[in-house]
Amino acid sequence: MRNRSSSPLALARLLAVAAILALSSSAWAQTTLKVGLATEPASLDPQFSTTGATQQASQQIFETIVGRDRFLQPAPALALSWTMVDPLTWELKLRPNVKFHDGSDFSAADVIFSIKRIPGLADSPSSYKRNVAAIKDCVELDPLTVRILLKSPSPQLALDLSFIYVVSDKTPSDATTDDFNKGKYVVGTGPFKFVEWVRGDRLVVERFAAYWGRKSSFDRVIFRPITSDPSRVAALLAGDVDMIDQVSPVDQERLRKDTRLSVLSMPAATMMYIHMDTNRDLTPFVKAKDGSALDKNPLKDPRVREALSIAINRAALCDRILGGAAVPAGQFVPEGMVGYAPDLKPDSYDAERAKKLLADAGYPNGFAMTIHGPNDRYLNDEQVTQTIGQFFARIGIEIKVQALPYSVFSTAATNLEYSIFLMGFGNTTGDSARGMTAVLATFDKATGNGANNRGRYSNAEFDRLIKESSLATDAKKRDLFLQDAARVAIGKDRGIIPLYYQTTTWALRKGFVYETRMDEYTLANYVTVAK
């Protein structure tokens, strides 16, 4: 009997089936996006922490009340419009026909629940309280209209609302961060539904078919935290991931020459700075050179802080350590953003004057100090910390450098365990108000002011100017108040030492396209496959 499988017709059929299977396999490969990220979130509770990695994860699944476009300007999101009825009253018109991932309808009740939930969250390392501090109450006028009543005028309310992620009002009031981390209440209105989170290994989401907005090009997205720069690049080159973020300057030139890849860059809003303990009389990581305790904290003296600032050669730091992927900074925001003071330039490098300032402050022979920093959060962060330590050593300070994983480092910094350390802040509102309020305002747990003030700098004049800026309804006056606040806290006091604004670079396999963003986030909904 003739073997049918050997006939030309049977063989053609087998080949056709094989081709279909191959196409199916290829199609499936194209609908799964694999992303290698330099960091991972601290939590899946979108209201737990304002840190960039947590917000980046939140934006895949949840949405904010007011949105921000790729250039950080307010844009419609769950709220279609926001109107100041009078200085103490705002009205939000919400988007109709929006669904949560569990199929329930989005409404005013969810917005009100989300705003009121924030003040009750405990143990946040970087709270959203300051974004709702001006709100006295929220009232539902109808299912798609919310009236917000304020304690005092807040012209920047729309910006504050662009940081408030909406969770369902079905979420229990006692839901913990641990509950969210286990996936129990990770139900948003965003472009992707939660599938699983294995800390340190992967976050998996899948496309939400009923999403009201722009649909994802991919059925499933797998985010992998790969903290090592070389390992992230290796994963991309091996095809283990389709795109990576935070490409180091060392790798950028090589990857740009690889015809299999696309490399995209965007000026970022992140300002890197040195934070110092300017509050305590004695600080743990500053000693005499013989190891004995000093009778006072040198970092409380503005002359010492100025000496440290002018000891840093910012141009060399940006060119040699960061490969040109940064520009020197002298204040919180670059030129073009609200609050930029044109006279507040980066401090010029002057090691000899720095030595004189130390001598004038009573430290002609310097002192010993440990500087801390992260080793997996920012562009070349460990090398930057090491280099800054070398600059300090040149003016007579005996330096030790300790770089730690960001999760460990940031917790210790928030607990005020350090004396001086490297930190960054993403100015994702397009102005300096949020950053300066978070980092330099007098710490107030109740209001959320100074939530990132890990050096406990405090100046009543600065606080007054920040408050005046928050109450100013005239945009020009608000800008001037913010400029003056920067002149006090940075120009005069050097409450922090600004270093540079970094740029962000992504690399993708050829055929993938990404709409880059100034907030540095990698949002899977804006990754597409070239036609």
DSSP 264-305: EEEEEEEEEEEEE--S-SS-TTEE-TTSPPPSS-GGGSHHHH
Query: Phi and psi of 416, rounded to 5°?
Result: 65, 40
Q: Which of 261, 267, 220 is nearest to 239 (CA)?
A: 261
pLDDT computed for residue 257 by the predictor: 94
**Total of domains in the chain:** 1
| β-strands 67-68, 261-276 pairing | unpaired
350 domain-assigned: yes
Residues 6+ apart with CB under 8 A from 422: 272, 273, 274, 275, 371, 372, 373, 374, 378, 381, 384, 385, 388, 499
Sequence-distant (6+) residues with CB within 8 A of 97 are 212
In the block, tokens 């934070």 appear at: 275
Task: Say if pTM beats, i.e. exceeds, 0.75.
Answer: no
pLDDT (tens place) for every residue of the chain, 531 residues total: 444 444 544 444 544 444 434 433 333 345 999 999 999 999 999 999 988 899 999 999 999 999 998 878 889 999 999 999 999 999 999 999 999 999 999 999 999 999 999 998 888 878 899 899 999 999 999 999 999 999 988 888 998 999 999 999 999 999 999 999 999 999 999 999 999 999 999 999 999 999 999 999 999 999 999 999 999 999 999 999 999 999 988 899 899 999 999 999 887 778 999 999 999 999 999 999 999 999 999 999 999 999 999 999 999 999 999 988 899 999 999 887 889 999 999 999 999 999 999 999 999 999 999 999 999 888 889 999 999 999 999 999 999 999 999 989 999 999 999 999 999 998 877 789 989 999 999 999 888 899 999 999 999 999 999 999 988 888 899 999 999 999 999 999 999 999 999 888 999 999 999 999 888 899 999 999 987
**Token pair for 472:** 């100013």
In the DSSP assignment, the letter for residue 317 is I
Q: What is the pLDDT of residue 245?
A: 96
Q: Are 166 and 64 in contact (CB under 8 A)?
A: yes
Residue 383 lies in a domain: yes
**The pLDDT value given to residue 4:** 42
C-alpha separations of 224 from 166, 202, 291, 411, 466 in Å: 25, 5, 43, 22, 39
**3-state DSSP: the chain helix, strand, coil percent, rounded to 5?**
30, 25, 45
Please answer whether residues 274 and 499 qualify as being in contact, where contact means their C-beta atoms are separated by less than 8 angstroms: yes
Residue 234 maps to a domain: no
Q: Is residue 252 part of a domain?
A: no
The alpha carbon torsion through 416, 161, 71, 338 (nearest 10 deg) reads -70
Q: What is the CATH number of the domain that holds 332?
A: 3.10.105.10
CA dist 402 and 373 (Å) reads 6
- Predicted confidence (pLDDT) per residue in 488-519, tens digit: 999 999 999 999 998 889 999 999 999 998 88
DSSP bridge partners of 506: 264
Domain coverage including residue 449: 268-503
Q: Is residue 101 part of a domain?
A: no
Sign of torsion over alpha carbons 494, 497, 498, 499: positive
Per the domain annotation, does 382 fall within a domain?
A: yes
Question: Is residue 402 included in any domain, yes or no?
Answer: yes
Residue 208 lies in a domain: no
Report the DSSP beta bridge partners of residue 224.
36
